[in-house]
Amino acid sequence: MARRDYQFSVSSRCELLPYLLRIPLGLSRKQAKDLLRFRAVTVKRLTTVRHDTQLEPGDVVTIAAGKQIPTASIERHGLKIIYLDDDIVVVDKRAGLLSMGSEGEKERTAHRILNDYLKALKKSSLQQAFIVHRLDRETSGLIMFARSRAIQAALQQNWKTVTKKYLAVVEGVPSKSLGTLRDNLAETKSFRMHRVERGGALAITHYRVLRRCQDKSLVEFTLETGRKNQIRAQIAGLGHPIVGDRKYGATSDPARRLALHSCALSFCHPVSRISMEFRSAMPSRLMELIAPRRQD
């Protein structure tokens, strides 16, 4: 397993906890204590460390952000676990798989699959993941879960600082190659989001057209807010519904699925504060929709 390690050289005698608060990672006192509790901090000359361990000049302090899990060994029921440590899990889900279900949900969901894996991994029925955000059933790609309620709360509280990017194949070609969609969205009785002049919730989405292919375009979206069906409703309101999205007015469905994929998550680790970025390639089934057509 590959580890992401950061090393710091001690220049003067001090205790370990105050030293962790001074190094250039911006750790809070709680975050530093969590690193010690999860044994993510080591000192080269010592076998064990505590918050009051005395450091000497020349000591090397190593901080491990987490443990990278081989992806080939953890893929089941349409869910691939691509990163796992003591605080967070990042998964890549297939289209058609629910992010989570209700209390009485009998159907297999990404949340349930992940919980089953964590319980087996730790051999404990108490292990579970906590929802940080969701993807629509029809959307594929990256989702992040927390390993505790405290981490869940920290991530959700700072969710605006997380960069969330999506790729979609839309019908037609937007008149502007890049822009920002700013709308108030409200939900109808049929659970469809639509733009309203007054009321609703503000939705802000930045977009840029990456490729044009006759009657379709590949578009990258970056979310500034996180409303239900935000991308789907806003791009449809622009006159270019996502391919396969009949709920929002699409007239074509060549891939027999919604052509929307969560492709990137970038954020600071909630404990180590180390910058992390995860990417997921657009499924080939969707990329084929905007591939140049061969001339016979």
Bridge partners (DSSP) of residue 109 are 98
> Concatenated DSSP letters for 155-189?
HHHTGGGSEEEEEEEEES--SSSEEEEEEEEEE-T
- Partners of 276 in the β-ladder: 267
* DSSP character string of 53-109: PEE-TT-EEEEEEEEPPPGGGSEETTEEEEEE-SSEEEEEE-TT-BS---TT--S-B
Out of 34, 92, 136, 183, which one is annotated catalytic? 136
**8 A C-beta contact, residue 98 and residue 91:** no
What the block records as the tokens of 6 is: 């950061």
Half-sphere exposure of 58 (CA within 13 A, CB side): 1
What's the CA gap between 17 and 142, in Å, rounded?
Answer: 34
For CA atoms 254, 100, 168, 292, give the dihedral sign. Answer: negative
d(CA 70, CA 63): 21
The verdict on whether 59 is a catalytic residue reads no
- Where are the alpha helices (H) located in 125-170, listed in sequence order? 149-157
Calpha distance 160→280 (Å, rounded): 21
Q: Distance between CA atoms of 194 and 234, rounded to whole angstroms? A: 8
**Which sequence positions are flagged as catalytic?**
136
